[in-house]
A and B are shown apart, each in its own frame.
Chain A
């Protein structure tokens, strides 16, 4: 118990936390303890001066920043809570991401900027980009059968998918994260097709969006453990712009013929939104344990029956070459 930690000759029943609590006024509701501290301080002027200084610091801090409390709240902050929330908030994240992208432009596909991934798995990422570009143009009948959307009721292919954060039941089963199809309707894209894709022994979810102006946008998701905030990299290949990033256990690829600028922008939007969804899932508690357990190979493969899935090594960033662990689909 921290409260019993002796400090500077205090009697055994008083500790530093009692002295701090006295300075902070937290003993006002406990007169017995407060009196004990006061008795202790009577013979120790240095300690009394120290606690007096601490109390004065609190007051000085409040004085120093009182003007902020009294100042009118800027409109931009008030608007956030007083107006109906837009689907996504404010333009600032875009500019932040744009700045990050600008930084990464020099890094290109060679690695992740920021020094976190010392030995970038260049070939894996390059392969992911290749697969994304290949999958973009892949005709529907060469893909595996479409899977149903859990609880969204959309039958594929052909029918319109309902817009807006559809649960991705299939992927969710693999990683126990509440992954959702990003809602791009306000950005002029609606989901039209969602499939499981296999290529070179690895699997990914492929989601196709149609733009209002006839553009086609295809998003890929595979699993791959990685900590930290997503950093989006954009490359151009075969006339298509590819944005890719890793977020928690997932690696994302976004491919389109809509132009590099558009892909930059969309990737920033999706990354910001999905980060939030994953944060939420992790904060909800049990999902995190499931996630880690499922992320570590053996259990997952036993449970899922995906015997050929490569092992997942979440403690070795860069070496954790996981692709999606998927039960065979029939």
Chain B
């Protein structure tokens, strides 16, 4: 148990970072991480060494987050939620650019969780698929759609290019 606890403790900063990006709020994130850790410590015997402690914890954190979201918005359909389209450039001709936190908030839950699991969890597609409980093909399509949406929202390399054009 002590060894597993040690492994779990080493993941807390990573869990906080993932939760913060997922929830968009550091206080909510710490609540999620607390729930996740409580669950993990109650269920540590279920970690069967089939995968890494990190992927096991990230999976649990994702489920805690989904529970949290569902409690907050009971009718939320995670796969159908529409992306909010950013406002068009305003009259001064400025390009609408969101920072990453704001842009991520505009993505549907499932796309955001998938993109973040790759970017912050450092997980391969198969591990992310297992953690998210979906086939690898679904991970692929969520990544494609989510990242295109982020581009449309003005984050990533295109944003820099657009900013440079403005100069």
Contacts and interface: CB of A to CB of B under 8 A. Distances in A.
Contact of A81 (B9, B31, B71, B140): B9
A92 interface: yes
B34 A61 contact: no
Contact of A68 (B26, B74, B115): B26
A52 B157 CA distance: 7
A55 B30 CA distance: 28
A178 to B, nearest CB: 13
B84 to A, nearest CB: 18
A85 B37 CA distance: 11
Contacts of A50: 148, 151
Nearest to A19: B144
Given A53-B147, A74-B30, A61 B115 contact: yes
A169 B83 CA distance: 50
B155 A57 contact: yes
Contacts of A5: 137, 140
A61 B41 contact: no
Given A2-B140, A80-B38, A283-B46, A17 B125 contact: yes
B118 interface: yes
B88 interface: no
A62 B34 contact: no
A26 B99 CA distance: 26
Given A61-B21, A61-B119, A114 B74 contact: yes
Interface string B7-40: 0110011101100110000100111011101110
B57 to A, nearest CB: 11
A24 interface: yes
Determine the main DSSP class of B at the interface with A.
Answer: helix
A214 interface: no
A62 B9 contact: no
B75 A81 contact: no
Contacts of B137: 2, 5
Contacts of A90: 34, 38
A319 B155 CA distance: 50
Interface string A75-105: 0111011100100011010000000000000
A56 B33 CA distance: 27
B143 interface: yes
B150 A57 contact: yes
Contact of B125 (A21, A68, A81, A280): A21
B81 interface: no
Interface in B126-167: 135-137, 140, 143-144, 147-148, 150-151, 155-158, 160
Nearest to A116: B74
B138 to A, nearest CB: 9
B101 interface: yes
A49 interface: yes
B8 A81 contact: yes
Contacts of B71: 229
- The 6 A-B residue pairs with the shortest CB-CB distance, nearest first, are A53-B156, A56-B157, A89-B38, A2-B137, A57-B156, A53-B157
Interface of B: 5, 8-9, 12-14, 16-17, 20-21, 26, 29-31, 33-35, 37-39, 41-43, 46, 67, 71, 74-75, 99-101, 104, 115-116, 118-120, 124-125, 135-137, 140, 143-144, 147-148, 150-151, 155-158, 160
Given A68-B29, A80-B37, 16 more contacts: A17-B140, A20-B143, A20-B144, A50-B151, A57-B100, A61-B120, A68-B16, A68-B26, A69-B13, A71-B13, A77-B37, A78-B9, A78-B12, A80-B38, A81-B5, A92-B31
14 contacts: A5-B137, A20-B140, A24-B118, A55-B157, A61-B116, A68-B13, A70-B13, A77-B33, A77-B37, A80-B41, A85-B41, A116-B74, A229-B71, A276-B42
